[in-house]
């Protein structure tokens, strides 16, 4: 088949001063940052669903993109065309990883046997494409939210038959991820929540969700998959309320079901903002709980209250996120997956390049700024000094004491602590100046 990106060049680093719009200004994959190649720090991935699955439809209108593989039914030939186009984009962008849901890569099938066969065929082709194009799988996942059977949830469905269908999809998607050498396996519970409590048994649903996750972990060990299982939090949409609301909720859920050492989180920027948090808040919370895993990079719209999944374009926001990621020690199995889509009017193949180039350069420039902030040391020095009292005589004195004994020390010392400046404006100034100076 003809290459969907035939007229478009392979994107390479050309430096911040280039006028070439189809080039990277900041993403120089071999550049060493804090002793590590940029490509290895960021581990960028392109996702299948937004750029190749979605036809450009919204709730008010049908698809606008007219991609060749959307011209007719989603049969085996259309799915093969789509997969080939996806790998052609990965090559153009020269990014190391990709991500997919089972249904993104396969032909449509109606019954469970046909579904399994169509998926197996797609996985065989992905294995071939990965080898031919030298691309790797950051994570695989199963779509447990699109089909009408999942309208009331998958693992949290009131119907055990739906739970079992979901088990079949996840078993196959997990085994496929293992076979393809995937670094992680993601579970995003888009329908694992409720529309109304009037028809919902929350206790049973949470227990079923906990059991499902335990079964996935058990199977991962049975087949010898060494990647990380990741939960992707989101507070709502499509459900009114999603159980995996945010990182803190997931951390408590994992502890409740004894899975806190087995499962980490995949944090999405736009999901953080929907939950009323900053992106960096979610990363810092995950790191503090020992469950930081991977990132879905995108942005929301400050005026819209939904998941607009736009490509990231704020270096400042990403710098704050990258500072937390670097402080957490960086990625192990995780990476930056662009869970982002071009706007519905951006109908051309070149728009997919512009979207990814903009996102890649935003994150790359933020990495340089974050690394400069770490090397500069003033933020970390201020933080260390701010908590130094805990390592001083009084901090050590109360460390092992009970409440009454601590209270008695306060009285004995006649304590009268005074407020100290948190220097927020100074610290924000350091961040702004560092971003401005980054080359």
Q: Among 209, 334, 207, 213, which residue's Cα sits nearest to residue 267?
A: 334
Tell me if 244 sits within 8 A of 192, measured CB to CB: yes
> Minimum distance between the CB of residue 258 and Co ion, rounded to whole angstroms?
26
Q: Among 187, 199, 115, which residue's Cα sits nearest to residue 155?
A: 187
Among 102, 125, 296, 324, binds ligand XUL (CB under 6 A): 296
Residues 131-160 that bind ligand XUL (CB under 6 A): 141
Instruction: Provide the phi-psi class of 181: left if phi over 0, else alpha when psi is between -120 and 50, else beta.
Output: left
Cα angle value 400/260/213 (rounded, 5°): 160
Q: In this complex, which beta carbon is closest to ligand XUL, that of residue 47 or of residue 360?
A: 47
> Minimum distance between the CB of residue 380 and ligand XUL, rounded to whole angstroms?
32
Cα angle value 80/139/99 (rounded, 5°): 40
Using rule CB under 6 A, residue 268 touches ligand XUL: yes
Cα angle value 148/149/153 (rounded, 5°): 100
Residue in the shown chain whose Cβ atom is closest to ligand XUL: 188
**Contact pattern from residue 327 through residue 346 relative to Co ion, giving x for each residue in contact according to CB under 5 A and a dash for the rest:** ------------x-------
Which backbone phi and psi does 147 adopt, to 5 degrees?
A: -70, 145
Strand partners, 193: 242
Q: In this complex, which beta carbon is closest to Co ion, that of residue 13 or of residue 52?
A: 52
**Contact pattern from residue 395 through residue 434 relative to ligand XUL, giving x for each residue in contact according to CB under 6 A and a dash for the rest:** ----------------------------------------
**Contact pattern from residue 238 through residue 277 relative to Co ion, giving x for each residue in contact according to CB under 5 A and a dash for the rest:** ------------------------------x---------
Does 356 participate in catalysis according to the annotation?
A: no
Using rule CB under 6 A, residue 234 touches ligand XUL: yes
Residues 98-127 that bind ligand XUL (CB under 6 A): 101
The catalytic position among 102, 104, 246, 296 is: 104
CA gap 86, 181 in Å, rounded: 18
> Minimum distance between the CB of residue 173 and ligand XUL, rounded to whole angstroms?
11
Using rule CB under 6 A, residue 232 touches ligand XUL: yes
Q: Show the tokens assigned to 22.
A: 């189809």
Looking at 78-86, 216-224, 289-297, 323-331, which segment touches Co ion (CB under 5 A)?
289-297
> Minimum distance between the CB of residue 433 and ligand XUL, rounded to whole angstroms?
34
Does 281 participate in catalysis according to the annotation?
A: no
The catalytic position among 41, 70, 101, 178 is: 101
Q: In this complex, which beta carbon is closest to Co ion, that of residue 81 or of residue 273?
A: 273
Tell me if 273 sits within 8 A of 234, measured CB to CB: no
Using rule CB under 6 A, residue 169 touches ligand XUL: no
DSSP 316-373: HHHHHHHHHHHHTT--SS--EEE-----TT--SHHHHHHHHHHHHHHHHHHHHHHHHH
CA gap 142, 150 in Å, rounded: 12
Q: In this complex, which beta carbon is closest to ligand XUL, that of residue 28 or of residue 309?
A: 309
> Looking at the annotation, which residues are catalytic?
101, 104
Name the residues that contact Co ion, by CB under 5 A.
268, 296, 339
């Amino acid at each position: 088949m003809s290459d969907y990106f035939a007229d478009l060049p392979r994107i390479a680093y050309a430096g911040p001063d280039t006028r070439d719009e189809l080039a990277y200004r900041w993403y120089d994959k071999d550049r060493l940052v804090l002793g590590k190649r940029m490509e290895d720090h960021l581990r960028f991935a392109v996702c299948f669903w937004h750029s190749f699955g979605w036809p450009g439809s919204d709730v008010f209108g049908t698809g606008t993109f007219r991609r060749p593989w959307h011209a007719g039914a989603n049969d085996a030939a259309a799915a093969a065309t789509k997969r080939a186009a996806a790998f052609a984009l990965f090559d153009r962008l020269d990014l190391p990883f990709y991500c997919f849901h089972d249904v993104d890569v396969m032909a449509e099938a109606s019954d469970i046997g046909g579904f399994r066969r169509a998926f197996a065929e797609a996985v065989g082709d992905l294995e071939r494409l990965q080898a031919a194009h030298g691309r790797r799988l950051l994570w695989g996942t199963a779509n447990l939210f699109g089909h009408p059977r999942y309208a009331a949830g998958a693992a949290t469905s009131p119907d055990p038959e739906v739970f079992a269908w979901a088990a079949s999809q996840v078993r196959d998607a997990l085994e496929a991820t293992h076979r393809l050498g995937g670094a992680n396996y993601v579970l995003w519970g888009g329908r694992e929540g409720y529309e109304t409590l009037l028809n919902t048994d929350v206790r049973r649903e949470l227990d079923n969700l906990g059991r499902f996750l335990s079964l996935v972990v058990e199977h991962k060990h049975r087949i010898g998959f060494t990647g990380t299982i990741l939960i992707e939090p989101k507070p709502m949409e499509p459900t009114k309320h999603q159980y995996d609301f945010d990182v803190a909720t997931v951390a408590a859920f994992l502890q409740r079901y004894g899975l806190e050492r087995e499962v980490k989180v995949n944090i999405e920027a736009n999901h953080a903002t929907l939950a009323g948090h900053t992106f960096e808040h979610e990363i810092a919370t995950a790191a503090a709980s020992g469950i930081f895993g991977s990132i879905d990079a995108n942005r929301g719209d400050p005026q819209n209250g939904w998941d607009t999944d736009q490509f990231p374009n704020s270096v400042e926001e990403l710098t704050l996120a990258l500072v937390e990621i670097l402080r957490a020690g960086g990625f192990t199995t995780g990476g930056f997956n662009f869970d982002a889509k071009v706007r519905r009017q951006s109908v051309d193949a070149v728009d997919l390049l512009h979207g990814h180039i903009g996102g890649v350069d935003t994150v790359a420039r933020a990495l340089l700024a974050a690394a400069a902030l770490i090397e500069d040391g003033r933020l970390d020095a201020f933080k260390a000094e701010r908590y130094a009292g805990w390592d001083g005589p009084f901090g050590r004195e109360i460390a092992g004491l009970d409440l009454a004994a601590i209270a008695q020390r306060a009285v004995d010392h006649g304590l009268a602590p005074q407020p100290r400046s948190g220097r927020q404006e100074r610290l924000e100034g350091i961040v702004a100046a560092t971003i401005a100076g980054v080359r």
